Structures are given as structure tokens and as C-alpha cells.
Amino acid sequence: MSFDYDLFVIGGGSGGVRAARVASATGAKVALAEEYRMGGTCVIRGCVPKKLMVFASSYEEQMHDAASYGWDVKIGKFEWSGFRKKMHTELDRLEGIYRKLLDGSDVMIYDSRAVLDDPHTVKLADGTKITAKHILVATGGHPVRPSLANADLGLVSNDIFLMEELPKDVLIVGGGYIACEFACILHGLGVNVSMYVRGAGLLRGFDEEACGLISEAMQSRGINIHTGTTIVEMAPAADIDIASDSKTTMGAPVDVARDLAENPKSDTDPEAAGPIWVKGSNGTEQVFQHVIFATGRAANTDGLGLEAAGVKLGRGGAIDVDEYSQTAVPSIFAIGDVTDRVQLTPVAIREAMAFVDTVFNGKPTKVDHDLIPSAVFTQPEMGTVGLTEEQASEQEEVEIYCTSFRPMQSAFAERPDRVLMKLVVSKANRTVLGCHIVADGAGEMIQLAAIAIKMGATKEDFDRTVAVHPTMSEELVTMKEPVRTA
């Protein structure tokens, strides 16, 4: 049977673009369809704009530190509009680079939504049908709102980058890394931030000791964290009698909240309906300019024709794939967040490379999801790779090497911030099972530590490494005695 293309990729994010380019380099005839903007979540509405906001939010604290170091610094006001314009200019530039990379790789681009028509056919939005020997679905995921009346009044992470003005206060619902990162970002930009966290603490699934230090740092900076708390009700503040003395308004004083309710503004975002009244499970009733939901993500599989083509979907609508990223239909593969394996851009890119090796290079390659390093860009950051203390202790007896201290730079500036360096070590064979760092620049440090841990380094390998002094990271190779076993 003759096909229009050897490979048709649905989705122009990091994984899809990488797969298309590398497959084309093997001599395959490749096409790619993207219905929105090239670059996907990471470039357009995720990693890149978020990291730019992380940088922007850190400068006020740096200027305070500069004053402690003798600089005559005058701290002005952050101007969101100028930063926002420059940020979107940068995103436009990066999208252009993605398009040039595809053009230079002889990949045919369709700026259109594409859905499956059968195991070898996709249909574009205009009705055009295109056949391909192989189809790769790389449509990513999207943030979801909870099943709550009036949840549409709240924003999700995608909306934050589009706000025309910064709000005076926000409520962030959720305690995962997206919630924590945006809490730190917005607070650093001058927004009064409160958080509702359903669980007992932040960053469930990460090392509990490291998470505790981050939680303390966030609260010491002025972020109001309410654990064990969810939203019971929410509504436009204009629809609620907020004058009652029985109500408290933590997001805004009563008189300010009343003024907001009587004079609502909706110019920060087209989906925002002005100030929002929130009733929490902790009994408080508050008014916020914005409520931001960071309560989970779901795969972009709705309406793609997957099940009709025979593709099986799992939890949350994610595509079920085997260890080679192949679906139940032999001609259809899927990579990235749409498979809900590990939702990280570098993982999607690795999955793309393994897919091309398997299908076009004749080298069946399983995707390696073991010992993936990651970073949480809170303030301070957390870098992590391998098992947490809790995970490791469930498998075997481990020794914990850990130290927490005030680093030289912040101590001199008379800031209370502490850092944490932690190694989780197998007692049986001395292999380092996990490394967890809480410190400025932890994301940079963990990348290098991950190389050693991926290679199977032991605690003695770390001990034999000469320290770089004076640095925070030298503590990783100078901790001689365990603080406890678990």
C-alpha cells in the first residue's frame, strides 16, 4: 500500500518536533500538524515563560542582598506590562526557531488540527485526508479545573502568562510543583499570595524533609499556606453579601473587598469575572482578585478519534503505550504528556529519540524512565533525583546523610534562609539511591549529581571526590556520618 508520508506527527511540542526532525534525517517523508502554536506547552505556556518569570521574581531579593553587600540600591516597582511584552516577544522568537528547524529538516507543516480517521489516516480541520505508514500522537496535556460550581471563574496556569495586569492578591489552589512555583513567582512580583492545599503538606511525592524546608521558606517570605483546606464554594463577589461581620477576607480587607465587589474589573484576563468570593473548608470566607487552580493536568485526547481507531485510553484519558511507545494499534505511537508517564519536556524528547530508533533506525529502543532528575523552581529551588527517604526505606534499610545550614551569601545578608543537602544510601551495597538539594541553583547542581547517581555511584565514590571550597555543594562530598537509618 502506498502512503502520502512515512510518518505523520500530530502535535508540535518538544517531543513531536524532535521526532519529526530526527525521523526526516533518516530519509523518511514526514509531516506534522499543530493546531495552535509551535513549541507546545514547554515553549509557549510552560517551562520557558515560567522560568523567565522565576528570574524576574528573584531580583527584589537580590537587590536587598546587594544593599547588605554595600551597594547603594534603590528598589523600584516591578512593571508587569513591559516584562510581559518582552516575554511574549521571546516566545514568538522561539516559535519561529521551531518552524525553521522543521523547514530545514524537510518536514511538511500543517497549521491545522488533525484527528485520526483510521489506523493509517488523519483528517485535517478542512476535511483533507492524509495517509501515513506510521502516526505519532504527541498532543501533550492541559491543566484542568476541579468539579466545582463556578470553577470557570478561576484561572489555570496557561492564563497566568496572558494577564494584562498583575493582581493585588490571588488564591492558588493546589500544593504540587506548579502551585508552589507560581506562588513563589507571584509573591516575588509583589502579589499577596494565599494557598489552599488539600493534603497535609506541599509537594506530595517529593522528599518530605526537603519539602518541609521549602514550606518553611515560603511561609517566612509571607505566603499564606493553608493545609488540609479546599474550596467548598466560590462565586462572583458581586453576588455575595460580604458586609457581614461574620465573614473574614484574608485575600483583601473587608472595605477593599466590598469596593471590588461593587466595582468589578475583568480586564486582566478575558476569562476572569472580577473579584471572587471563596468559602474554604476551614470555615473562612474570603475575596480574591483571582483564584488559580493548579489541581492537575489531563491528556489532550478528546475528539482525536483515538478509540474509534482502536487506540486504548487509560486513566484521565491518557494513551496506553508499551515500553516502545506503541499503542494497541501497531501503526500508531504516542509520546510525551499525552501518555502520562513522566510529564517532563526532556522525557518527551528522549521518548521521541527512542521512537525514531525503534521505527526508522531498526534498533528497538525501550524508553528509560529510571533516575530522571528534576527541579522545582520555588524560592529556594529544589533539585531531586532518585528515591526519596520514604520510598527507599520501604524497599530496604538505608542510611541518611543530611545537612542543613545557612549558606555564606544569605548569612552575610542576614537572611534566615537555609539550604539542605541530602543523600539516601543503601546500607547493603552503599549505592546512592537518591539525592535531594534545596538551595538557590539546586536545579543546576542536581543535573551533575544525577550523572554520578545514574552511573551507580556509591557513597564512597562521593567521599573520594575532593570538595570545591567554598561552595554549598561541597557538602555533598564531605558528609561522613549518617544522621539516621531508615
CATH of the domain at 260: 3.50.50.60
250 neighbors 276 (Cβ within 8 angstroms): no
Residue range of the domain that includes 458: 374-485
The answer to whether 321 and 334 have CB atoms below 8 angstroms apart is: yes
Whether residues 403 and 476 share a domain: the answer is yes
Please report whether residue 289 resides in a domain: yes
At which of 271, 293, 315 does a domain end? 293
What is the per-residue pLDDT for 251? 59
Give me the pLDDT at residue 1, please: 82
**Are both 44 and 133 inside the same structural domain?**
yes
Q: Which residue in the list 64, 226, 290, 469 is annotated as catalytic?
A: 469
- Return the pLDDT at 241: 72
- Examine the domain organization and report whether 208 and 313 are in the same domain: no
Where a domain ends, among 267, 293, 319? 293
pLDDT confidence of residue 255: 40
Q: Could you tell me if 129 and 59 lie in one domain?
A: yes
364 located within any domain: no
- Per the structure, the count of domains in the chain is 3
Q: Are residues 390 and 354 part of one domain? A: no
> pLDDT tens string for the chain (486 positions)?
899 999 999 999 999 999 999 999 999 999 999 999 999 999 999 999 999 999 999 999 999 999 999 999 998 999 999 999 999 999 999 999 999 999 999 999 999 999 999 999 999 999 999 999 999 999 999 999 999 999 999 999 999 999 999 999 999 999 999 999 999 999 999 999 999 999 999 999 999 999 999 999 999 999 999 999 999 999 999 998 754 443 444 454 434 344 443 444 433 344 445 799 999 999 999 999 999 999 999 999 999 999 999 999 999 899 999 999 999 999 999 999 999 899 999 999 999 999 999 999 999 999 999 999 999 999 999 999 999 999 999 999 999 999 999 999 999 999 999 999 999 999 999 999 999 999 999 999 999 999 999 999 999 999 999 999 999 999 999 999 999 999
Instruction: Check whether residue 381 and residue 430 sit in a common domain.
Output: yes
- Strand 169-173 and strand 192-197: the pairing is parallel
> For the domain that residue 389 is a member of, what is the CATH number?
3.30.390.30
Residue 469 appears among annotated catalytic residues: yes
- The reply to whether 384 and 326 lie within a common domain is no
Q: Do 437 and 382 meet the contact criterion of CB atoms below 8 Å apart?
A: yes
- Single out the residue in 293, 310, 326 at which a domain terminates: 293
Q: Is the residue at 445 inside a domain?
A: yes
- Output the pLDDT for position 115: 98
The confidence score (pLDDT) of residue 242 equals 56
